[in-house]
Amino acid sequence: MTPPPMGNSAAARDIASVLHPYTDLKAHQETGPLVITRGKGVRVYDDQGKEYIETVAGLWCAALGFDNERLVQAAVRQMRALPFYHGFTGRSHEPMIQLAEMLLERAPAAHGGRMSKVFFANSGSEANDTAIKMIWYANNAWGRPQKKKIIGRVRGYHGITIAAASVTGQAANHKAFDVPLPGFIHTMCPTYYHAGLPGETEEAFSARCAEELEKLILAEGPETIAAMFAEPIQGAGGVVVPPRGYFPAIQKVLRKYDILLVADEVICGFGRTGNYWGSQTYDIEPDILVCAKALSSSYLPISAVMVNERVFEALATKSHEIGTFGHGFTYSGHPVPAAVAIETLKIYDEIDIVGHVREVGAHFQAELRRRFHEHPLVGEVRGIGLIGAVELVEDREARRNFDPARKVGAKLVKIAEAHGLICRAMVLDSIGFSPPLIITKPEIDEMLDRFGRALDELAVQIRRERIAPVA
């Protein structure tokens, strides 16, 4: 066995033993990890004691921050009472039942009325894979075996399991993995900043997006299209905020051809946009809703798929015919994550998380725009509630992004770390913000102060590169 480099530090041991997600694995052997050891509120600390404000709540998810003792105790109590049980063959337990009830009570309006039942999984990816399988199963129950194609959107993100990666619309998730699978197609990204035509209003752009969707459906054959997946805001795609009128226009097309709509609320759910669900913010009435992340403030892995009555009846009918609904996970509705999720939802109610996000989110959005809208490296500032982004560009007037090979967003992330800020660079060098929902106005100001210093340092570096003599 080759001894780890750099002595026996955590970083050296990581390099020697860990295969990281979403990482340049070759480069990581040289650069090593940022090792985080503890957290408090909106801040985390590395193994050298350095403090950082977490601008993305980990991965859009630690809504209640990094040290909520009530969630810890909820897990401890449940571990002592019933540390594990499953939901197969009709088995159940109180945490799974109660959490399902709480989610249905809080669910947004669904197409055809209300959400009917809840299925539990362990991640957003698993939940979206489950939704895809449910859609195929339901269409078989409805006698439509050919109606199976799934529509995603360019720059959309729905996870990394094989089917979820197929509906995802990002090149990095497809290259060398042999996805998308057949039957997964993609419609245009609703980025008004880049795709809007001169003089075109947001409403007109939304109508054009809907027209493009209908053209795709007609080209493929409406009888072959089963569903469309959409995030209320495209998170990992760069925080793409839908233009005015987008979802009503899209839904009109889907209903015309009896195509199900899945709202992927993995990032937007539980208050992030200033409503409990992003679906409420953007007038979406889905047939299926998928959630995860903030469901337990990500203290333990859990996700959920909510289905309306029409979908549930199809699943029930077909499962009765077959003798079982042959899908599920060992940890579906695991009692410990379920107990933590129950406590999380209780805390959201007690502290009025939606009211808090509306108040501090208004401050965040105003300050984000005031400070960075005119910055020479920023093309667009966008967002709503406590989710936002600044998109870095080389030419503001032409709305031209930097060459991806320059990795300008990644450079900013490293500079920000030196200023005590953990950021995330995404598609087209968009720097995303989705801090813990408990963040305060003074903490928002401090976060943006640090980001501003990092952005200015990047601008100096880029100016130097431009005037450097050619070798």
Indicate whether 219 belongs to any domain: yes
* Boundary (domain end) residue, out of 322, 350, 378: 350
Report residue 12 as tokens: 């050296």
- Identify whether residues 88 and 210 lie together within a single domain: yes
Phi-psi category of residue 75: left, alpha or beta, with phi > 0 → left and psi -120 to 50 → alpha: alpha
Residues 223 and 180 in one domain: yes
Q: Are residues 210 and 261 in the same domain?
A: yes
Residue 402 per-residue DSSP state: P
The answer to whether residues 392 and 446 belong to one domain is: yes
Please indicate, yes or no, whether residues 116 and 264 belong to a single structural domain of this protein.
yes
Q: Say how far residue 344 (Cα) sits from the centre of its chain.
A: 18
222/195 Cα distance (integer angstroms): 26
pLDDT at 219: 98
**In-domain check, residue 393:** yes
d(CA 154, CA 191): 10
Q: Which residues touch 420 (CB under 8 Å, ≥6 apart)?
A: 50, 51, 52, 53, 450
Residue 23 lies in a domain: no
Q: Tokens 């209640």 correspond to what residue?
A: 64
Residue 397 and residue 364 share a domain: yes
Whether 389 contacts 382, CB under 8 Å: yes
Contact partners, residue 53, CB within 8 Å, separation at least 6: 42, 43, 420, 421, 422, 435, 443, 446, 447, 450
DSSP alpha helices (H): ranges in 306-391?
309-322, 335-350, 353-372
Residue 317 phi, psi (nearest 5): -60, -45
Report the distance separating Cα 71 and Cα 294, nearest Å.
12
In this structure, the answer to whether residues 343 and 399 fall within a common structural domain is: no
CA dihedral 414, 415, 421, 424 (to 10 degrees): -50
**Do 386 and 364 form a contact (C-beta atoms < 8 A)?**
yes
Is residue 255 in a domain? yes
Strand order in the sheet with 424-425: 378-384, 387-392, 430-433, 424-425
Q: Are residues 133 and 53 in the same domain?
A: no
Which residue carries 């909106």 as its tokens? 42
Q: Is 395 helix (H, G, I), strand (E, B) or coil?
A: strand
Residue 391 near residue 428, CB atoms below 8 Å: yes
Is residue 74 helix, strand or coil?
helix
Q: What is the CATH number of the domain that holds 38?
A: 3.90.1150.10
Q: How far apart are CA 400 and CA 377, in angstroms?
A: 11
Q: How many CB atoms lie within 10 A of CB 391?
A: 24
Question: Does 446 share its domain with 331?
Answer: no
Domains in the chain: how many in total?
Answer: 2
138 and 53 within one domain: no
DSSP lists the bridge partners of residue 264 as: 290
End of a domain among 320, 350, 380? 350
> How far separated are the first and last CA of the chain, in Å rounded?
43
pLDDT score of 465: 86
Rounded CA-CA distance 334/295 in Å is 14
How buried is 335 (Cβ within 10 angstroms: 0-12 exposed, 13-18 middle, 19+ buried)? buried
Among residues 323, 350, 377, the one where a domain terminates is: 350
Range(s) of the domain holding residue 42: 34-67+352-467
Look at residue 13 and tell me if it is in a domain.
no
C-alpha span between 168 and 189 (Å, rounded): 12
**CATH number of the structural domain spanning residue 228:** 3.40.640.10
Shared domain for 248 and 267, answered yes or no, is yes
Residue 379 maps to a domain? yes
Residue 11, domain member (yes or no): no
Measured torsion, CA atoms of residues 190, 309, 259, 181, in degrees rounded to the nearest 10 = 80
Looking at this protein, which amino acid is placed at residue 274?
Answer: G
Q: Is 207 a member of any domain?
A: yes
* Cα–Cα distance measured from residue 273 to residue 434, given in angstroms and rounded to the nearest whole number: 10
pLDDT tens, per residue, the chain with 471 residues: 333 445 689 999 999 999 999 999 999 999 999 999 999 999 999 999 999 999 999 999 999 999 999 999 999 999 999 999 999 999 999 999 999 999 999 999 999 999 999 999 999 999 999 999 999 999 999 999 999 999 999 999 999 999 999 999 999 999 999 999 999 999 999 999 999 999 999 999 999 999 999 999 999 999 999 999 999 999 999 999 999 999 999 999 999 999 999 999 999 999 999 999 999 999 999 999 999 999 999 999 999 999 999 999 999 999 999 999 999 999 999 999 999 999 999 999 999 999 999 999 999 999 999 999 999 999 999 999 999 999 999 999 999 999 999 999 999 999 999 999 999 999 999 999 999 999 999 999 999 999 999 999 999 999 998 886 544
Helix, strand or coil, per DSSP, at residue 162: helix
3-state SS string for 108-154 = CCECCECEEEEEEECCHHHHHHHHHHHHHHHHHHCCCCCCCEEEEEC
Q: Tokens 């009503």 appear where?
A: 248
Cis check: omega of the bond before 180, within 30 degrees of 0: yes
Residue 5 pLDDT: 47
**Six token digits for residue 122:** 């362990």
Instruction: Quote the tokens at residue 398.
Output: 């032409």
Sign of CA dihedral 72, 78, 81, 85: negative
Coil/strand/helix, residue 437: coil
DSSP state of 254: H
Shared-domain flag, residues 48 and 147? no
